[in-house]
Structure 1
C-alpha cells in the first residue's frame, strides 16, 4: 500500500519516490504482450487477441471482477462500477482503451529472447516487430528502469494503472461517496465508433450524468520542453480539436507526355495545394488559450510576460511569433496538412484525374462548415470533386478550469510533483473523451506522465516505453483522485 498523503504537500517539497511494485509491473508487462492492434476497418480486427486480453484481465484482477458491477458493451467495451455510499451524487468516470497501433516491420536491436507471448496468441501476430526497437514491441520487456512495448504509453499504462488503483481501494474495503466508473474502449485508434461511442450511448440511455470524466491527452513536459518556460509544465486538456479530411479529385486533360496540355491535372492540383498552404484559416486566441497564456506567463521571461500581458496591443507581433512554431501554431488556428497524393502510374502518362488528401484539425470556434467554405474558395475555378473521408467531427466543447474536477487534477499533480506548473490546454490529437460530451460537461484529458521530447515522440513510433517511476506515480495519482474526490 502506498504512503498516502491526505492533503496537498507543501510546494517547497521535492518530488517524492514511490516504492517499486514488481507485481504491478509484471501485470502491465503481461498485458503488453497481447497484440490488441486496431487498424483499418473494424471487420479486419483480430478479435482473438481482444478475447485473450479480456481473459487476461479477468485472471489478473479477480477482485475487480468480483467486487464491482461490470458488463460488456458491444461485445468488447468494458465497464466497471465501484459503488459509492451516496447515490444522489453524480459519479466520476475514468477512460482508457485496449487497442494499440501497429508496430511496423523490421528488426529488433537486441536478442529476441525478450519476445514473449501467451500460448494462445498466434506467433504471426507477435512477429510484426518494428524498426529500431530495443526490445520486441509486444515483448513487455522490463529493463533499464522501463517497461517496453506498444501501448506502454498509449494507453495500456493508463488502463492497468486504473485497475491497480481500484484494486488497492477494494483491498481496503474503501467505499467512496460517489460511484466510480471505469470504461475501456477497444477501437480508439480507428475512431472509437464501436467502443467509446456505444459506451457513452449506454450511459446516456441509463440517464447517467458524470461530475467528471478523465481521459488521456495532456502530460507533464520536462523543464526545457516548452521554449521560454523555466519549469516542468502539466498540460491539462480542457478541449480537443476537431477533424476533417477531404479527398480532392482534380480533373484535366490526360494523354501522352510527348504532347502535354498547357495545364495538366497535376498542375491544377498543385495550384490548389499551394492556395491551401499559403492561405490558411486565420489564427485566433480562444478563451482556453488565453487562460493557458495567463497561467504559463508567470514562468516566462520578462519580454514574453510583457507580450502576453499586452497581447491585444501586440497582436500582430504575437501571431507572427506563434505561427512560426509548429506546436504553437496548432494552438491558435485550424491547421492544414497535405497528407496523400495520387496521379499517373507511368513516367510518360498524363493522368486525366489527380487526387490528394488534405487534413484539417479544427480549432474550437471554427466549424466543419467554415472549413468546407475554405476548401470551396481554394478550389474555385477548377473542375473538382470533394469527398470527406475518415471521421469528420466538430471541435469539442471547452470544459471549465475552475470546476471541482479540474481542481482535483491540480491537487493530484501537486501531490507527486509539487513544483510543477499546471495550465489548461488544448489537446491537439483526438481522444475517446469527445464521445462523452453527451453525459458530462466536465471532461479533462491528462495523464501524469513526466516525459521528455524523445519519450513523447515514441508514442505511435518506435521503441515505446514507460518508465517504472512514471507507472508507479500514475497508479498513485489515480488512486489519490478516486480516494479524495469527496
Structure 2
C-alpha cells in the first residue's frame, strides 16, 4: 500500500508556495504608493474677475453653427466669419495687442510676444468647429442645440464642451491679463483650428508646419482632452481625478466591401453581397485586437492604483501576475476597453436601392482607433488575416493618423501643469492617461516632446451627443486656469 506521506508533502509544499505568493502580493500592495507630488511651486492662481459678459460671449459663440465637413463645399463659411466678428468685438485688447494670422482660410492664430523672446513659445490649442446634430435626435434635446441656453447652472449647446468653452475661456483669460497689464514670460501662440473634427489637416496641421519653420521647437503644447472627473474612474467615484492626456490613439477608417450578382428579390441567390459583408463584420467584431497596457496607461495605473480600494490596489500593485485579470476587467466596459486595445466599430453601411432589388454591392465603413505601438499597416494586415473569404475587399479611406509618442509626466512643463491643477482643485488625484480620441495636438509632436491634452472642466456632459452641456462653475474655472497658466507660462 503506497504511503500517504509523499502526497501530504506535496500539499504542504503547494500551501507554502501559496502562502509565499500571498505574502508577496500583500507586501507589494502595502508598498504601492503614488509617485511624489510635483515639487515645483504651483503658479499662483490669479483672481480673475469673470463678468457676466463672459457667459454671454460663450452663449453667442454657440449660436454660430460652425459645423465642419470633410467636403469643404458643404461648409457654411459665413458661420465661421460670424464667429470671427464676435471674437473681434468681444476681445478688443487681444486683437489690438497680439499679432493675428489667418491660416487655411479659417484657422485663427494669435502671437503674444513674451517678456523673453529667446525662450521657446508655449502653444495653446482650441477649435472653432463642431460636429453636426443628427436630425433624428433633435426631439431628444431639452433645449435648442444652437441657442446657447443657460439653464439649471449649465450652458447648453452643440460644441460647448468640444470645444468652444476652451476657446472662449482662453480669450477671456487673455483679455483679462491684458487689462491688468500682465505679459507672459515666454512667447505664446493661441491656435484656434477650424477643421479639428475632420482631421485638422487644413488648419492645425498647417500651423504646426509654419511654427516648425519659424521656431523649430516649443516649450509645450496644451490642447483639449482629459478633464477632471468625479464619476468616471471606478473605485474613486466622488473623488476628483484630473486626467491629463500624455498620448493619444491613432485613427484609421477602412471600407469593407463585396460585390456579388444581384437581381430580383423573388429569386435570391444563396449568398448576397449584403449578407457576405454582414457576416464578415460579425466575424471581425468577434475577434477583437489583443489588449495591453501602453506607457500612458502604465503611468495611469501608477498614479491612480494606490488610491483604489484594497482589492483593485492589490491587482495594480501586482501586474506581473494579475495583468490578464486587469485587462479582462477593463475589456468589459467601453471606456476601459478603448484604453487597452485597438478598437473597430462600424459607422456607415451602404447597400441597396429598392426593397425588391437584391443589391450587387455592399460596403461598411469601419473606424479604428489604433493603440500606441500599432500602426495603420499592421492594423490592416491583422484585419485581413481575420477575413476568410477572398471575395471581401478591405481598403483605407479618408485620412490616417498614426499613434503619436507619449509625453513624459516627469517633464517640467507637465509638473507645472499638474501643480496648477492641484492648486485649483483641492484633494485632486492627477494622472497621465491615454486619449482614445484624436486631437489637433497630434500635429504638433514634431515641435516638442511635451504635448498635453487637458481641459479644466469637471465631468462635461453630452460630448458629440444629445444635451451637450457644461456647468457654469466649470466654465469659470477654465478661465481662471488659462489666466494662471498664461501668467506663469512654465
Normalized against structure 1, the TM-score is what? 0.87
Q: 2:323 aligns with which of 315, 320, 333?
A: 315
Distance 1:363 1:372 in 2: 13
Q: 1:227 aligns with which of 228, 234, 241?
A: 234
For the aligned residues, what is the CA RMSD? 2.3
Deviates more, 1:191-200 or 1:137-146: 137-146
Distance 1:459 1:308 in 2: 30
Report what 2:340 is aligned to.
332
Report what 1:478 is aligned to.
482
Report what 1:46 is aligned to.
76
Q: CA deviation at 1:236?
A: 0.6
Residues 46 and 483, structure 2, Cα contact 8 Å, conserved in 1: no
Give SS of 2:215's match.
coil
Report what 2:26 is aligned to.
none
Distance 1:332 1:167 in 2: 41
| CA deviation vs aligned residue, 1:178-228 (integer Å, no higher than 9, x gap) | 001101111111221111111112112213411110000101111x43212
Q: CA deviation at 1:18?
A: 8.1
Report what 1:87 is aligned to.
117
Greater fraction of residues in helix? 2
Q: CA deviation at 1:328?
A: 0.8
Report what 2:93 is aligned to.
63
Give SS of 1:206's match.
helix
Larger Rg: 2
Report what 2:140 is aligned to.
132
Distance 1:140 1:48 in 2: 18
Report what 1:157 is aligned to.
165
Q: CA deviation at 1:7?
A: 5.7
Q: CA deviation at 1:360?
A: 1.0
Q: CA deviation at 1:63?
A: 0.2
Q: CA deviation at 1:469?
A: 0.8
Give SS of 2:311's match.
helix
Distance 1:267 1:53 in 2: 47
| CA deviation vs aligned residue, 1:109-135 (integer Å, no higher than 9, x gap) | xxxxxxxxxxxxxxxxxxxxx333333
1:199 aligns with 2:199: no
The 1:147–1:260 alpha-carbon spacing in structure 2 relative to 1, beyond 3 Å, is closer
Q: 2:65 aligns with which of 35, 43, 52?
A: 35
Which structure 2 residues correspond to residues 15-414 of structure 1 after superposition, within 5 A? 21-105=51-135, 130-222=138-230, 224-230=231-237, 231-414=239-422
Give SS of 2:135's match.
coil
Q: CA deviation at 1:374?
A: 1.2
Distance 2:72 2:133 in 1: 18
Distance 1:359 1:103 in 2: 20
Distance 2:59 2:41 in 1: 32
Give SS of 2:111's match.
strand
Unaligned stretches of 5+ residues in structure 2? 1-39
Q: CA deviation at 1:347?
A: 4.1
Q: CA deviation at 1:25?
A: 1.3
Report what 1:415 is aligned to.
423
| CA deviation vs aligned residue, 1:243-264 (integer Å, no higher than 9, x gap) | 1111111133433444443333
Distance 1:439 1:249 in 2: 39
Deviates more, 1:250-259 or 1:301-310: 250-259
Unaligned stretches of 5+ residues in structure 1? 1-5, 108-129
Distance 2:43 2:416 in 1: 14
Distance 1:359 1:72 in 2: 32
